[in-house]
Amino acid sequence: MPVADDGGEAGYRAAGLANARSQDGVDQSQTRASQTMRRWAIGAVLCALAAALVVYAGVHWAMTEMGPPPFARVTHLMPTAAHMSDAVEPQEPRQPPLDPDKVDPRYLRMLFAFEDRRFYSHYGVDPYGLLRAARDLVLNGRIVTGGSTLTMQVARLLDNQYRRTPTVKLRQIVRAIQLESSLTKKQILRLYLGLAPFGGRVRGVRAASLKFFGKEPHQLSVGEAALLVALPQAPEARRPDRDAEAALRARNFVLKTVATAGVVTAAEAELASREPLTAEAPPMPEIPTPKPAVTHVAGLFAGLTLGLNVIVATPATAAPMQPPQSPPSYFLGSEEQVALDVRRRLLSPLPAGTQQADRDALWMFYAGRDAPVWAAMTGWTPAARAVIDEIKRADDWGLDAAAFDIPELPAAGGMPLPARQLVDAEIGLSLAVMKYARYARGGRIEDPATQLSSYLDRKPQVRPPFLVMTGIAAAEAPDDYLRKLHPQHEQFEKLRQAYLARRDGAASETVTIPKGSKIKPGATHEQVALIRERLGIAASGEDANHYDDMLADAVKRFQAKHNISPANGVINASTRRALNERQNVSLATLLANMEQWRWMPEDLGDVHVWVNVPEFRVRVVKDGAAVLDERVITGETSTQTPIFSKDLETIYFHPRWNIPESIKVKEVFPSLARGGGYFYRQGLKLVRNGKEVRPGSVNWYKADVRNYDIYQPSGPGNALGLIKFTFPNKHSVYMHDTQSKGLFDASQRTFSHGCVRVKNPLALAQLLLGIDKGWTPEHVAQLVKGDPEEIAAHLDKHIPVHLAYFTAQVDSDGEVTSEPDIYGHEKRITQALQGKWKDIDKGPDHLAQVELAQRLDDAQQARKGRSGGGRRVVSRSYGGGGGGGGGYSARVSSGSTANDVFRRSFGF
């Protein structure tokens, strides 16, 4: 029988008991540590509560010792707070309370951004501001950015305590808490607006606005609002009427700060920084009224002196009498008085439809003048008559002369006209000038992208009204100044001349070529005479129906110009259709195209790329001449090619297509779940954490496709072809090659989803890189023939790319050609110019899709950043960044972007 090992069993029991006791000891130690931590936490909470109670009691005691705020001296600003103070103090000069709602909201936003960004969230004291001030004091030895809030500034103004001592600062803090407990935020803000010092005896925003700008505070410009924000910090040192340079520096510092905070745009801040300071001129001294008693005594002394002279003085020759001095020029009836009345009139309501920007510009302009520009004392000045005549000819420039209200000012026949009539005429003509300038620069349609179509991403090139007034006032020929506000492009002037000819009935009559058989050069046909009349080619012999060589050359040029292939001079159906259709250009079409030129940049660039979408052609223009002309494919009517201008930055050879997040979810994932037919047909690649993954090894019913990178490698089958031209833009479009070359033979080539496909991208790349880098065509061709590896050639000097939409143009022969309005933009512009805004079909906002794709792509990039994974694709890169154009470096691809959001724009 086996014998049991009792000793071993007992040993195991003893070991188990020891382990259990050890474990119990560990648990007890952890329990004691946990209890200790809990006691410390409770103690800390109790200490914090005790400290808070002590602080509360101390603040309450301090407020009791200080007494209530001295509201009695400012009851005119806060009538509802009069009962809060029993103190009787001498009251300050009365001024009406200024409600925050009656102040320019830009001033309030600047005030909060510059002085107290958390005004509506703190209780009188900003802890963040105090901590920042303490940090500055420790690190810099001085307080760089103070911790004072608007409520603390009101406390200082109420108590008249301006010393910078710890005691005074603590008093301000306690008073600020007291104010917050007894007043609303709006009441505190009203007190600040009424008490803020601006130098001398000027207190309050309204008083300062009237003194320095002569206007109510709800009419402030951006620059004026910034100045009023800056002055209370050092009112005496920054007074505009004493130290204009200090005031200017302070105002511009405020503008820079609020622009950084996003209160105003950088462009608004830059324009406001150019505004002149308009400090108030010193008032004329009052003439004291003499008292009767003084006059009687003076007469008595005068009589006594005269009697003594008669008795004692010897005869003397009287000195010649000096002519009486003329009254000062600023008295009534002078030009200075008219200019002053203009400024006063600008504070009153102006005609309906007057823009605030125009009012502000006129105030700034006339604040720096002591004489009117247009209205003389006896009628219009010569400059005014020239301007009025030019405005009346607005119809000749495609505008409507009836849209400009020109005031009447009759000739006075040498007698001064009434001051009110002069003031109204001066302001009225200035408003007409600014409106003309705005319309001449395309301002009739202020924002085509929102008013017409999101695809029309153009902005009128409007000049600031203040610069218009200063420019025309300084011009020797103000009428010529107005004419030069219109586009100076050659094509605009050609369209204008064509418009004038058709408007005045001088255009040639329509010539219709009937249907018929083909007519070859050298033949004689009855339609040849009509073709001669249509093209303006006289007969070389007596028979006008003979198709001679001169006419054949003209027909060949016409065919080549209108993309009729082959351009061999044979009159066929396509040539007849072009001859009949392209001569009927309406006045409305010409006006719509002239209006688009008002939106174009003034400088198109010495070298630029010009894509005219309705014409389906791309041209490279150098020094005003087209050095390349090629066919393109543009977007479908549902996914249009947007109209805008950007700079070409990079040309890619053998581009890689990185599938964006949106297409992965909507297109690729369903294909993978069904077996991957679409995935394999397009030659796509699947990557996870930098490693290529076989799609069949993934369970797509559980996997998230957004965790994978999918791309189409460079190569012959790539959707982008061999070359891509990028000019970064918010529409996510670019120019590129395509595999579908046969589509270029169609007459209307609207096949893409937004991008521009180029028929011969190699020729375009060779020309642009030859201009920019001096590369030979052979060098560029070698990049295309090399290994299918993405190569980026960064341009040393960016080249402007203009995606335009002109349905009417005038060629070098003076012929007006027209193109179909494929997207309806011409119709929309015509409706807008005719005031038919409700009839405009703006269509959907295509950028909403791009923004959604961008958010999806951003989410993908954020996931990759958190995981530290993702595919890194290294490719070669040439030039750019001042590298001399010949550098060679490695480049890491940026991965998936919204740049490819329109799938079918890449050829499939």
SS3 891: strand
Give the burial class of 567: count Cβ atoms within 10 A of its Cβ; 0-12 exposed, 13-18 middle, 19 or more buried: middle
CA atoms 670, 671, 676, 680: torsion sign: negative
* Preceding omega of 487 cis (within 30 degrees of 0): no
Question: Residues for the chain: how many in total?
Answer: 908
Phi, psi of 208 (to 5 degrees): -65, -40
- Going by C-alpha positions, the residue among 249, 261, 219 that lies closest to residue 116 is 261
Nearby residues of 626 by Cβ (< 8 Å), 6 or more positions away:
610, 619, 620
Spatial contact of 70 and 159, defined as CB atoms under 8 Å apart? yes
Spatial contact of 560 and 567, defined as CB atoms under 8 Å apart? yes
CA atoms 533, 535, 539, 544: torsion sign: negative
| Positions of E strands within 414-506 | none
Half-sphere exposure of 520 (CA within 13 A, CB side): 0
Cα end-to-end span (Å), the chain: 88
Spatial contact of 899 and 732, defined as CB atoms under 8 Å apart? yes
Spatial contact of 134 and 152, defined as CB atoms under 8 Å apart? no
Element containing residue 619 per DSSP (H, E): strand 617-622
Amino acid at 588: A
- List the catalytic residues: 736, 755
CA 599/CA 645 separation, integer angstroms? 11
Give the burial class of 475: count Cβ atoms within 10 A of its Cβ; 0-12 exposed, 13-18 middle, 19 or more buried: middle
Give the burial class of 319: count Cβ atoms within 10 A of its Cβ; 0-12 exposed, 13-18 middle, 19 or more buried: exposed
CA distances from 237 to 201, 243, 244, 294, 770 (A): 14, 7, 10, 43, 60
| Positions of E strands within 713-856 | 723-726, 735-736, 750-752, 756-758, 791-804, 808-810, 816-818
**Per-residue DSSP letter, 738:** -
